[in-house]
Each structure stands twice: as structure tokens, then as C-alpha cells.
Amino acid sequence: MDVEIGYCGVSCDHCGMRTRIPEIAGNLKRFIDAYGYAEWVSNITQDFSFDELMRGLNWFITSGCPGCLKGGGMPRCEVRACCQRKRLENCYFCEDFSSCDKLSYQKETYNIEENYDNIKRTSYASWLKKEEKKTDENFDNIEYLERRNGK
């Protein structure tokens, strides 16, 4: 198995948009359909539009990001543009990684600084093997986010 690493250094398989979010949205839609909520929810609350909820769930179910290397991700991503301009596979190969302000979201949300430290201590190949193992174990970044947020 090959692990896909985006330009920003995030393992795409560990991002919720790749696996868990479409699955969760699909399960919620399945429950809504099975219980027939469409027939009565809009009669008991006006707090939200049921049709918009269903449109949103369908978007999450079908939108699974293919990864920035395959044209997914943010259309005007400055990280992708920077890596392409510098002809880098990803940000871990950039000498400006530690001071780069383009990576603030990834550093906070995906803990890529720890990845960078691991790569520097061992090697990129060794780190990739660990990422593959995490993928095989169905790792999802939500565990990191919950720990970071104290949940």
C-alpha cells in the first residue's frame, strides 16, 4: 500500500474527508431515510431546512477529496502553488518548513511539525512506513484533534 502525502505534508488517508466523514454522513442519511424523518421533521421544527440538511449530507457523502496531488483540495491553495513553484514533492523537503506561515492550519490541525521532527530524526522513508501502518490501522486525525482539544 502506498500512502498519499499532500503537498502540505498531511497523509490524505488520515483526513476525515477521505473516509470517515463520507461514511458518517451516509450512515446519518440512512437513518433519516429508514425512520422516515423527511415526512415529519419540517412539521415539528423550523430551526433548519430539512432539504438543505439532506443536500449537505449528500455533498459530504459524494465529495470525498481525491487529494491535492490529484486535483482535490482548496482550488487556490498557496501551499500547493509554493511546492509546485519550488518543484518539491511536499513541504517536508523545504528548507523553510519550520518558519513557513503558509502551513499554520496544517501545523495546528494535523500536527505536521511532529511529523517533520520524526523525518529529521529517522528518514522520510521510515516516516512513510509509520504512516502506512497508521492507515492500515484505520487511523483518523480526529484522535489527534480530540486530544488537542482536551476531549
Q: Spell out the per-residue pLDDT of the chain, length 151, in tens.
A: 588 999 999 998 888 888 789 999 999 999 999 999 988 888 888 899 999 999 999 999 998 788 888 888 888 899 999 999 999 999 999 999 999 999 998 988 888 999 999 999 999 999 999 999 998 888 888 877 888 887 6
Contacts of 74 (CB under 8 A, 6+ apart): 68, 80
The whole-model pTM stands at: 0.78
Q: Environment class of residue 70 by beta-carbon count within 10 Å: exposed (0-12), middle (13-18) or buried (19+)? A: exposed
Rounded CA separation 143/52 (Å)? 29
